[in-house]
Structure 1
Amino acid sequence: MGVDHQDKGDKAMRRRQILTMAGAAALTASLTACVGGGAGVEFHRGKSRPLSSTTRFDASRFAGRWEIRGEFVYPGEKPSYGAVNLTHSNGKITAMDVYGPSGLLERYPTKQPAPGRITVGTPPFDTQYWVLWVDADYRTAAIGTPSGSFGWIIDRSRSGGEDRIKAARDVLGFNGYNLSRLQIR
């Protein structure tokens, strides 16, 4: 009788281990798909190229209103071409307001852990917006995320500066972004 009981206990333990491993594998597959590493969403940037933010970054010059002149969209989607307003304090970007065609969409408090790196949200659900490039006069910038889920070309004006817009586009391409998904106005 003791052997039967032991055998049933061993079988129950193995079943729990198998179910635990299967659950962990399913969770891993789901998370991989969510972050663009599996068969889920394909992000706008391949991760084969390293990404770096500009070290030539001045929060007080970067703050203010920017027009979104270019953004990455998935096939069949349309860009919003809104705007973003960045607030600074004590040498860091402290807030970001995002505007759509009909007005303010979201207001986010931000952190700036390093020059040219602006973080919105709280880990593990935070998003890091990296300033990949900004022209010398702080008129045009290329912004992306390390994951490649997002990318913008922003400019102080709604039109003009085609040479700077092209430079920002080239920077995004150099950093592994799929330029066929970039819509520019």
Structure 2
Amino acid sequence: MLRRLIAIASIFAATSAGAEGYRDTTVPMTVDTTLDLTQYLGKWYEIARFPNRFEKDCMAVTAEYSARGDGRIDVLNTCRKGAVDGPVKQAKGVARPVEAGKLEVTFVPGLSVLGFLWGDYWVLDVTGDYSVAVVGAPEGTTGWILARAAQISDTEYEAAQAVLRANGYDTDALYRVPQTKD
């Protein structure tokens, strides 16, 4: 068991060390402190993301959040590899609220006692009707624009990008995710 833990830690360290940052970390990050997790639950479509190793070649990405009895949130991320109708790849995880607007997520729930397996998931902004959300992390290696529908207007997209820029992100690096039609 100890060897397995050391191997997992080594893999995590090796893959995280080279992660590219998309954010000026000298810019203070602000989160939506009025976030209502109950309204946030449900299915979200990934509209745009900063490139990352765990979503390589993923299209038509969705994230589904559901409440658990222990106060945590089940996470189910689904992507289509290579095309919007490509093979389905899913990742199951668990999120835990840390403070208003801030969560941590792990996709290795069986080893959740290991603190380094949790990643920051900060909701920077969500529209009043919970139709568009902007998510980031202080280290700036991840960030997403999510929506309840597979497509959003240019105005909504520009507003979401403005939130990212205000939090120090270089939005030129955003990847617009091909999505299915609603």
Cα 1:93/1:161, change in 2 over 3 Å: farther
Distance change >3 Å, CA 176–CA 162, structure 1 → 2: same
Judging changes above 3 Å, is the alpha-carbon distance between structure 1 residues 168 and 79 closer, same or farther for their aligned structure 2 residues? farther
Corresponding residue of 1:176: 168
Residue correspondences, number: 148
Report the CA distance between 1:73 and its aligned residue: 1.9
State whether residues 97 and 104 of structure 1, in contact with CA within 8 Å, keep that contact through their aligned partners in structure 2: no
Deviations, residues 77-104 of structure 1 (Å, cap 9, x unaligned): 7663401001124795511111101335
Quick one: higher RCO (CA 8 Å, sep 6+), 1 or 2? 2
Asked whether the equivalents of residues 79 and 183 of structure 1 are also in contact (C-alpha less than 8 Å), the reply is no
- Aligned-pair identity in percent equals 23
Tell me the secondary structure at the aligned position of residue 60 of structure 1. helix
Map 1:75-114 onto structure 2 (within 5 A). Answer: 80-89=59-68, 94-101=73-80, 102-114=87-99
Q: Partner letter of residue 107 of structure 1?
A: K
Q: Distance in 2 between matches of 1:133 and 1:90?
A: 26
1:162-185 alpha-carbon deviations (Å, 9 max, x no partner): 322211111001111111110225
The separation in 1 between residues aligned to 2:90 and 2:69, in whole angstroms, is 26
Deviation, structure 1 residue 151 = 0.5
CA distance in 1, matches of 2:143, 2:35: 18
The 2-side partners of 1:151 and 1:115 are apart by: 18
SS at match of 1:82: strand
Distance between the aligned counterparts of 1:137 and 1:130, measured in 2? 18
1:142 to 112, 128, 134: 134
Name the TM-score, length of structure 2 as normaliser: 0.72
CA offset at residue 59 of structure 1? Answer: 0.9
Bigger Cα Rg: 1
Structure 2 unaligned residues grouped into runs of 5+: 1-12, 81-86, 107-111, 178-182
Instruction: Report if the CA contact (8 A) 1:68-1:154 is conserved.
Output: yes
